[in-house]
Amino acid sequence: MMRTVLFLAGLLSGATSHAAAEPVAAAAVERVRNGQVVSENVPEVPAALRQRLARYQNTRGASFAGWLPDGGILVATRFADTNQVHRVAAPGAAREQLTFEAEPVLAPVARPGNRAGVLFAMDSGGSEFWQLHHLDLESRELVRLSDGRSRNERALWSNRGDRIAYSTTRRNGRDSDIHVVGLDGVSRPLLEAGGTWYAAAWSPDDTRLLVLRYVSIADSRPHLLDLADGSLTPLQAEDARIGHGAMAFAPDGAGWYYVADEDDDVRRLRWRGFHGDDRRTLTADLPWDVEALAVAADGRHLAYVANEDGISRLHVLALPGETPVELPPLPVGVMALGGFSPDGKRLAVTVNGATSPSDVYVVDLAAVAAQRWTRSEVGGLDADAFVAPALVRYPTFDEVDGAPRSIPAFYYRPPGEGPFPVVINIHGGPEAQARPVFSPQFQFLARELGVAVLVPNVRGSAGYGKAWLALDDGRLREDAVRDIGALLDWIATRPELDADRVGVAGGSYGGYMVLASMVHFGERLRAGIDVVGISDFVTFLTNTQDYRRDLRRAEYGDERDPAMRAFLKEISPLTNAARIARPLFVAQGANDPRVPASEAEQIVARVRANGTPVWYLLFEDEGHGFAKKRNRDLYEAAAMLFWQQHLLPQPGGG
């Protein structure tokens, strides 16, 4: 272990000050390096706390990654430090590990056809410059299919399994073009049109692609790409601003199924022909977003998943009549649609519940039966004692139709009578959604520390329609922060909650929300944890990777406009850091391409200048979050110690 001493004045010299007060003093800060981990002011976690937490950290899930020619499946799961690909031969069979990489194996997808293989992406140290690899499961030959330098993603097998369409920044590092690559690694461009483009679906005969130009979550533009002549046909009016989700060719190739919010507030499942104006809406009576769809290779069924207040509901339609198919009961939770078996008779899904990690279930359509293929571990804990959250709604500051607007939140209440300390956990995105998935941290807080957890979906979250999604855009940014103030008001009305012991945590955009909440509501908060969070919108937009800068401007505003730049500076936590007087814990990955480590460094320095205690953890082999178990375990242990020290009563009072 190596120890060095840094001086706060030196840390501050690299950041332009926008705070009302100048730093008051230069205090010595000890920086401790242990391998790839750098820490400042983080105490040693007691062995007893580590031991209590370890069983929660050793829970793990499995997610579906594709069908094999022999009827088995591939899953992604972790048996050591990182997620890898495993084979499962039959329901309940042992998992055979197939990849043994040092880095996590991401987005694995089985090769279609009669020869078993798996395509996956992998980066180095969390850089998100993903490289595509193919592992032939018969020869065990591993081939890298991308160039080794650019960012490559959204890889999509052709139906024959001989080619892969994917998005790449290879040309200039900024635009995402669409290329096609064979299993020999020879890649050629299909579409170089500027902006961010993704391949969405191959036609049944592999001669056309549905492709999407992504501008923002509320503006994505589908096109039909002919691979023979390169012609690109827009599938919506040029001036339309529509948010699109999943899409697939209809079995006859004459039209397409797609999810979109055109002429509506929610994303509905629709069909439209490629010629003429024939179209229909299949979920017109469903008041929730559709979030996934799949069409069976034999053309006889279509499956889709609806997001009903955060809970997934599976639906299957028989084609071509689009009539509902009876389904067996499945566990309540959040579902990922895995896909139909090659013969179209079975459908795989991954289900994650608030009290159970992810597992793979296979639905037999003819038998109307479901089989559980994997049974993931829960660290030797009693799963029946896990805390299931309740969905609550609390009023916020503004009104809709003459009544207070309400904000949904998931509430994990510990056993007992209380009053319980509270952690408010805020999701990132901001165009994301907190959902009732299994969280070892939430379970540990509730069961072991007696801390209630509230997980709100403040305005701007996905899953509640495009009007809700736009409520925090641009100059409305701090309205979302005011939703946290309203949650603090709600906590004060609950006799089982201790309004004097509330902490706030979040990652990425949620990290910004933590810092902003500590600026605005610091007197009502005990402490905060900011993970890979934005501290200054202008420096964030300046320093985030080139390929994502315009995507983020669409959400936050364009910092090149002087008026918007002034506004973004005004609301940035770094500008207002003199008002952060409560203990803060900041954790960051050094290789983060989205929110650079400079965002963490500058807020740590500025808040310390207030005389405020700040813990800081930097992982030099991580990016936007912590993908390696050893790093995640260390962060979580430190986080639990932080809450234990700042939210729980201490010996002698406090």
CA distances from 24 to 19, 287, 608 (A): 12, 54, 10
Closest CA to 463 of 287, 250, 324, 211: 287
The 10s digit of each residue's pLDDT in 164-194 is: 999 999 999 999 999 999 999 999 999 999 9
Q: Retrieve residue 462's tokens.
A: 């996905």
Q: How many domains does the chain have?
A: 2
44 is a domain residue: no
Q: Which residues face 545 on adjacent strands?
A: none
pLDDT at 256 over 60: yes
503 is a domain residue: yes
Instruction: Give the CATH number, domain containing residue 302.
Output: 2.120.10.30
- Based on the fold, state whether residues 373 and 394 are members of the same structural domain: no
The 10s digit of each residue's pLDDT in 513-529 is: 999 999 999 999 999 99
Q: Which helix (H) or strand (E) holds 171?
A: none
- Based on the fold, state whether residues 524 and 580 are members of the same structural domain: yes
218 is a domain residue: no
Confidence band, pLDDT 50/70/90 cuts, at residue 6: very low
Beta strands, E only, 284-329: 289-295, 301-308, 311-318, 323-324
- Based on the fold, state whether residues 258 and 399 are members of the same structural domain: no
- Based on the fold, state whether residues 456 and 532 are members of the same structural domain: yes
142-144 sheet: strands from edge to edge: 106-110, 117-122, 131-136, 142-144
- Based on the fold, state whether residues 396 and 339 are members of the same structural domain: no
Which pLDDT score, from 0 to 100, does residue 653 have?
57
129 is a domain residue: no
pLDDT at 427 over 50: yes
The 10s digit of each residue's pLDDT in 194-252 is: 999 999 999 999 999 999 999 989 899 999 999 999 999 999 988 899 999 999 999 99
Mean pLDDT of the chain: 93
Confidence band, pLDDT 50/70/90 cuts, at residue 377: confident
- Based on the fold, state whether residues 428 and 331 are members of the same structural domain: no
pLDDT at 23 over 80: no
Confidence band, pLDDT 50/70/90 cuts, at residue 62: very high
Please say which residue of 377, 403, 422 terminates a domain.
Answer: 377
Confidence band, pLDDT 50/70/90 cuts, at residue 380: confident
Q: Retrieve residue 510's tokens.
A: 């949620």
Give the least confident one: 100-104, 344-348, 359-363, 650-654. 650-654
pLDDT at 123 over 60: yes
88 vs 430, residue with greater confidence: 88
Which pLDDT score, from 0 to 100, does residue 21 have?
38
Instruction: Give the CATH number, domain containing residue 438.
Output: 3.40.50.1820
| Average pLDDT over every residue of 132-145 | 96
55 is a domain residue: no
CA atoms within 13 A of residue 432's CA, in its CB half-sphere: 14
68 is a domain residue: no
Q: Report residue 449: phi and psi, to 5°.
A: -105, -10
With DSSP H G I counted as helix, E B as strand and the rest as coil, what are the percentages for the chain, rounded to 5?
Answer: 20, 40, 40
The 10s digit of each residue's pLDDT in 581-625 is: 999 999 999 999 999 999 999 999 999 999 999 999 999 999 999
Which pLDDT score, from 0 to 100, does residue 562 have?
95
pLDDT-above-70 percentage for the chain: 95
Closest CA to 274 of 190, 201, 166: 201
pLDDT at 1 over 70: no
474 is a domain residue: yes
Strands 403-412 and 452-456: antiparallel
Confidence band, pLDDT 50/70/90 cuts, at residue 442: very high
- Based on the fold, state whether residues 337 and 424 are members of the same structural domain: no
- Based on the fold, state whether residues 363 and 509 are members of the same structural domain: no
> Which structural domain, as residue segments, surrounds residue 342?
243-377
| Average pLDDT over every residue of 434-448 | 96
Question: Nearest-5° angle of CA 144, CA 147, CA 150?
Answer: 120
| Average pLDDT over every residue of 59-76 | 96
Q: Report residue 133: phi and psi, to 5°.
A: -130, 150
| Average pLDDT over every residue of 2-17 | 34
Q: Assign 518 to helix, strand or coil.
A: helix
- 309 sits in the region (left: phi over 0; alpha: psi -120 to 50; else beta) called left
Confidence band, pLDDT 50/70/90 cuts, at residue 654: low
- Based on the fold, state whether residues 290 and 260 are members of the same structural domain: yes
390-400 sheet: strands from edge to edge: 2-7, 28-34, 37-40, 614-619, 584-589, 527-531, 497-507, 420-426, 452-456, 403-412, 390-400
356-364 sheet: strands from edge to edge: 334-340, 346-353, 356-364, 369-372
Q: Where are the alpha helices (DSSP H) in 36-89?
A: 47-57
- Based on the fold, state whether residues 348 and 394 are members of the same structural domain: no
Beta strands, E only, 149-234: 152-157, 163-168, 177-182, 187-191, 197-202, 208-216, 219-226, 232-234
Q: SS3 sequence, 362-380?
A: EEECCCCEEEECCCCCECC
| Average pLDDT over every residue of 123-152 | 96
228 is a domain residue: no
pLDDT-above-90 percentage for the chain: 88
The 10s digit of each residue's pLDDT in 329-350 is: 999 999 999 999 999 999 999 9
| Average pLDDT over every residue of 467-492 | 96
CA atoms within 13 A of residue 12's CA, in its CB half-sphere: 22
What gap in Å lies between CA 504 and CA 514, rounded to an integer?
A: 6
The 10s digit of each residue's pLDDT in 265-305 is: 999 999 999 988 889 999 999 999 999 999 999 999 999 99
- Based on the fold, state whether residues 279 and 401 are members of the same structural domain: no
Residues 6+ positions from 524 with CB-CB distance below 8 Å: 488, 499, 502
Report the Cα–Cα distance between both ends of the chain, in Å, rounded: 34
Q: Retrieve residue 485's tokens.
A: 């103030």
Looking up tokens 């165009």 gives 431
Confidence band, pLDDT 50/70/90 cuts, at residue 81: confident
Which pLDDT score, from 0 to 100, does residue 344 have?
96
Tallying the residues shown for the chain, one arrives at 654
DSSP letters, 429-458, are SSS--------HHHHHHHHTS--EEEEE--
DSSP letters, 100-151, are --SSPPEEEEEPPSSS-EEEEEE-STT----EEEEEETTT--EEE-S-SSS-
- Based on the fold, state whether residues 261 and 319 are members of the same structural domain: yes
Burial of 177 (0-12, 13-18, 19+ CB in 10 A): buried
